[in-house]
Amino acid sequence: MDNDFIKEEIALVNRAKEDDREAFGQLMENHAPRAYRTAFTILQNQADAEDVVQEAFITAYKSIKKLEKEGSFGSWLRRIVTTRAYDFLRQKQRQNKAIEASTSQFKLELSQSISGAREATQDCDLDLREAIKKLPEQHRLVVMLRYSKDATTDEIAAALNRPAGTIRRILSESYRLLRLHLEGEKNP
């Protein structure tokens, strides 16, 4: 890095510390490509990397006044991006484990509630499991949380850090998609 770039960055950081949004916007523009590459290297997914970078910039904006060395904005931001990316991976792993646990609980509850021949139950179970697998990831998670522990929409919203209205919409869409898939299986 040349001295002019370092001086410009220090000036931008100092202005951003004084709530100058344009200065922070310029810092974002200067560092976005490197932040994205860092996140993508860890996550190996474009959309997830973009989300993590956005969260990292929000964190940086909120805490820029805590940055002690104005010339170290790039490395400070990279640490934030890295931390956010690994936090994202840990959260995704927890969600996947919850989905797996919920799927087996859901299957058990479903098979207990369906009467009739064992063969019909197995076919229905397989159909439903296949239908659930075809749901988008967020929809699968919400359905599993709803039926594995009888979680309310408010509890699911709190667990996923989403508005309750969004959870109700996702559940409604999930029911519609499941119904379409299961009815399509019965009426070839």
CATH at residue 182: 1.10.10.10
Q: Please check whether residue 72 lies inside any domain of the structure.
A: yes
Residue 117, pLDDT above cutoff 50 = no
Q: Please check whether residue 107 lies inside any domain of the structure.
A: no
Total domains, the chain = 2
pLDDT class of 181 with cuts at 50, 70, 90: confident
- Looking at residue 27, its amino acid is L
pLDDT at 26: 93
pLDDT at 76: 92
pLDDT class of 108 with cuts at 50, 70, 90: low
Residues 134 and 55 in one domain: no
pLDDT at 36: 93
pLDDT at 138: 80
pLDDT class of 34 with cuts at 50, 70, 90: very high
The whole-number average pLDDT for the span 6-31 is 91
Q: Please check whether residue 105 lies inside any domain of the structure.
A: no
The whole-number average pLDDT for the span 70-74 is 80
Among the ranges given (78-87, 106-115, 152-161, 168-177), the one the predictor scored with the smallest mean pLDDT: 106-115
Residues 83 and 154 in one domain: no
pLDDT at 1: 54
Residues 170 and 122 in one domain: yes
The whole-number average pLDDT for the span 73-99 is 86
Residues 17 and 73 in one domain: yes
Residues 23 and 62 in one domain: yes
Q: Please check whether residue 106 lies inside any domain of the structure.
A: no
Among the ranges given (30-34, 77-81, 92-96, 121-125), the one the predictor scored with the smallest mean pLDDT: 121-125
Residue 114, pLDDT above cutoff 70 = no
pLDDT at 148: 65
Write down the pTM of the prediction: 0.53
Tokens representing 106? 């859901």
Contact by Cβ (8 Å): 114, 71: no
Q: What is the CATH number of the domain that holds 15?
A: 1.10.1740.10
Instruction: Find the DSSP H helices in 114-163.
Output: 118-133, 137-148, 153-160
Q: What percent of the chain clears pLDDT 90, i.e. is strictly above it?
A: 31
The domain in which residue 74 lies consists of 3-90
Q: How far apart are CA 185 and CA 134, in angstroms?
A: 13
Residues 152 and 119 in one domain: yes
3-state helix, strand, coil in the chain (%, to 5): 85, 0, 15
Residue 124, pLDDT above cutoff 80 = no
Burial group, residue 184, by CB count within 10 angstroms (0-12, 13-18, 19+)? exposed
The whole-number average pLDDT for the span 32-50 is 91
